[in-house]
Amino acid sequence: MALSGGHLIDGKWRRDGGGGFNCFNPATGEALEPKFAEAAKEQVDAAMHAAPFALHDSASLEARWPARLLDSIAECILKLGDSLLDRAGAETALPNARLISERARTVGQLAMFAQLVKDGAWVDAVIDTADPSRKPIPKPDIRRMFRPRGTVVVLGASNFPFAFGVVGGDTAAALAVGNPVIVKGHPSHPGTSELLASAVLEALESQNLPRGLFALLQGRSHELSAQLVTHAETRAVGFTGSRQAGRALFDLAAARPEPIPVYAEMGSLNPVVILPGAIRDRAQAIARELCASILLGGGQFCTKPGVILVFGPADPFVNTLQQQISATGPVTMLNQPMRDSLAARVLEWSKIPGVDVLTASSPSGFASVSPALFHTRAAVFMREPHLQEEAFGPAAVVVECSEIDDAQSVLRCIGGSLTGTIHIGPDDDAKPILSMMQELVGRIVVNGYPTGVEVCDAMMHGGPYPATTDASMTSVGAASIRRFVRAIAYQNIPDDLLPPALQNANPLGIERTINGQRTKARIEQSRV
């Protein structure tokens, strides 16, 4: 399939807009064809204009249309076959095996959300029926359910070109609950974005759904992101990326005449605390496994363990970790600016008094870098703000603590993270660290590693700032739809005017909460 280099707006590929840019193969530095158009205000307006019509038109469809759409998108993605894997490989330098597993995860996410739609209980229908005889005033009939928020903007991530790309978790969650989605593709992999968008278009066409439900805009500029976030039609934003970019978008959204939520999943230090008993018990194994976790995907995971807290010198552990890291060859990062950014950060760290370079990192090739490992003490870590910022890529810092209080201070200094990990050995008292992590992170892992985020009902992929801009939300798993819904209550509405999910006969056959009881039963009583 030849790439158009254009935007997908209201079901049509358009190559208009300003400029034009190539992306690069990070392994070779080769500029990849074609040149991609850059969306400007006109293209943003066109996509934003189409979306509310699509939302309106879809409201008259049978309630479970998003399931058909998501299942069909998954099918169309798989149909792209090697063309998708090859292009993504060229644009990201991610190995084919990783891309295959990420594609499986992406298709799995789409299936999970489709299943959620088929089940139907996600609308969280809560019905309190009337009691006309209540004193002193009659009790009205109130029925509440989730509805789509409206147009959702998704800014695709660089590091998961499929799973958090054009039809990644954010898009799937927003579409599942019926919102139109406008995606800004990440400029590192525009060809991958176009291929994925073509799968969405094919699905919309095959299911005969409004084309305005989905748009892809290509571009490199911060201005494009800003236009999308500040557009009057935008109701919510999903973002995965750096703290700097996420905060900038959050600030723009908060300053709008009508503020909207930006659900930004940003950088995270993901502290790992290895208690003394665990070091005594299994220092070598933890060091080997932790090294694999640090370097998974070239260290380019938002859950990468970036700070490791140990008690005392912990030599057996630190030495093994150092050997493992040092024995690893250069990693090709997702793009050159990211590599340069990592190189600059580790150079900065290496100059901080009190920081030991255990494994020196060096850039190579177009976008490659060898992994880096640092060591310091708690007091140094706490007084150096630069050490407390994420180094995105293959790098980590071991922080030596003298006691639990020390480790707690370091954790508080790190602040919000997506994850916190504790390795516990015989006789270790994990409670003080666990208790503090409950205040600071979204997911606590014991005797394991934070990379590898299970896509399931119970997942919480989020956490206090700066991990995200909304600590109450997850961007992975079924609960991630909560970002893109809004509840509405209907008071004394005639049955035929209610959405099907709330009608007496329960025509969708979904589980609802009626007067405090969860049930699939219909409501027999006559309405007020």
Q: In the range 87-146, which residues lie near a second copy by CB under 8 A?
A: 101, 126-128, 136-137, 139-140, 142-144
Q: Which of 43, 92, 335, 469 binds a second copy (CB under 8 A)?
A: 469
Separation in Å, CA 496 to CA 208, 239, 389: 26, 39, 56
**Taking the complex as a whole, how short is the minimal distance between the CB of residue 459 and a second copy, in angstroms?**
6
Is residue 404 a contact point for a second copy (CB under 8 A)?
no
Of 363 and 442, the one with the shorter C-beta distance to a second copy is: 442
Q: Which of 452, 507, 521, 522 binds a second copy (CB under 8 A)?
A: 452
Q: Annotated catalytic residue: which of 302, 384, 390, 413?
A: 302
**Taking the complex as a whole, how short is the minimal distance between the CB of residue 46 and a second copy, in angstroms?**
21
Q: Positive or negative CA dihedral for 194, 46, 180, 246?
A: positive
**Taking the complex as a whole, how short is the minimal distance between the CB of residue 34 and a second copy, in angstroms?**
36
In whole angstroms, what is the distance from residue 312 CA to residue 210 CA? 62
Q: Which of 31, 344, 489, 521 binds a second copy (CB under 8 A)?
A: 489
- Which residue bears the tokens 């060591």? 375
Q: Which of 395, 430, 501, 523 binds a second copy (CB under 8 A)?
A: 430
Is residue 464 a contact point for a second copy (CB under 8 A)?
yes
- Which residue bears the tokens 């009626």? 514
Q: Annotated catalytic residue: which of 194, 233, 265, 400?
A: 265
Helices (H) and strands (E) in the chain, counts: 14, 24
Residues 29-58, mask of contacts with a second copy (x by CB under 8 A): ---------------------------x--
**Taking the complex as a whole, how short is the minimal distance between the CB of residue 152 and a second copy, in angstroms?**
13
Of 2 and 497, the one with the shorter C-beta distance to a second copy is: 497
Q: Which of 487, 509, 519, 520 binds a second copy (CB under 8 A)?
A: 487
Give the bridge partners for 487, in sequence order: 146
Q: Which of 439, 520, 521, 522 binds a second copy (CB under 8 A)?
A: 439
Tell me the CB-side half-sphere exposure of residue 14, using CA atoms within 13 A: 19
The footprint of a second copy on this chain (CB under 8 A) covers a number of residues equal to: 72
Residues 263/239, Cβ–Cβ less than 8 Å: yes
Site residues for a second copy, window 371-390 (CB under 8 A)? none
Is residue 11 a contact point for a second copy (CB under 8 A)?
no
Closest CA to 408 of 383, 385, 437: 437
Query: Where does 346-497 show beta strands of DSSP type E?
Result: 356-359, 363-364, 368-369, 372-377, 395-401, 417-423, 441-446, 485-491
Q: What stretches of 134-254 show up as alpha helix (H) in DSSP?
A: 169-176, 190-206, 222-230, 243-254
Taking the alpha carbons at both ends of the chain, their separation in whole angstroms is: 59
Site residues for a second copy, window 296-335 (CB under 8 A)? none
Residues 190/217, Cβ–Cβ less than 8 Å: no
Is residue 424 a contact point for a second copy (CB under 8 A)?
yes
Which among 68-76, 155-163, 406-414, 451-459 is the span making contact with a second copy, rule CB under 8 A?
Answer: 451-459
Which among 161-169, 187-195, 337-345, 423-431 is the span making contact with a second copy, rule CB under 8 A?
Answer: 423-431
In whole angstroms, what is the distance from residue 200 CA to residue 227 CA? 23
Site residues for a second copy, window 223-262 (CB under 8 A)? 250-251, 254-255, 258-259, 261
In whole angstroms, what is the distance from residue 110 CA to residue 297 CA? 22
Which among 79-87, 159-167, 320-328, 484-492 is the span making contact with a second copy, rule CB under 8 A?
Answer: 484-492
Is residue 472 a contact point for a second copy (CB under 8 A)?
yes
In whole angstroms, what is the distance from residue 23 CA to residue 33 CA? 8
Task: Write the CB contacts of 484 (distance below 8 Å, at least 6 apart in sequence).
Answer: 148, 149, 152, 173, 174, 177, 179, 236, 238
- Which residue bears the tokens 């370079």? 357
Q: Which of 347, 456, 505, 521 binds a second copy (CB under 8 A)?
A: 456
302 classed as catalytic: yes
Cis peptide leading into 66, omega within 30 of 0? Answer: no
38 classed as catalytic: no
**Taking the complex as a whole, how short is the minimal distance between the CB of residue 521 and a second copy, in angstroms?**
15
**Taking the complex as a whole, how short is the minimal distance between the CB of residue 96 and a second copy, in angstroms?**
15
**Taking the complex as a whole, how short is the minimal distance between the CB of residue 493 and a second copy, in angstroms?**
5
Tallying the residues shown for the chain, one arrives at: 528
**Taking the complex as a whole, how short is the minimal distance between the CB of residue 169 and a second copy, in angstroms?**
16
Of 224 and 467, the one with the shorter C-beta distance to a second copy is: 467
Tokens of 70: 């998501």
Is residue 454 a contact point for a second copy (CB under 8 A)?
yes
Residues 73/199, Cβ–Cβ less than 8 Å: yes
**Taking the complex as a whole, how short is the minimal distance between the CB of residue 309 and a second copy, in angstroms?**
18
Is residue 495 a contact point for a second copy (CB under 8 A)?
no
The set of catalytic residues is 265, 302
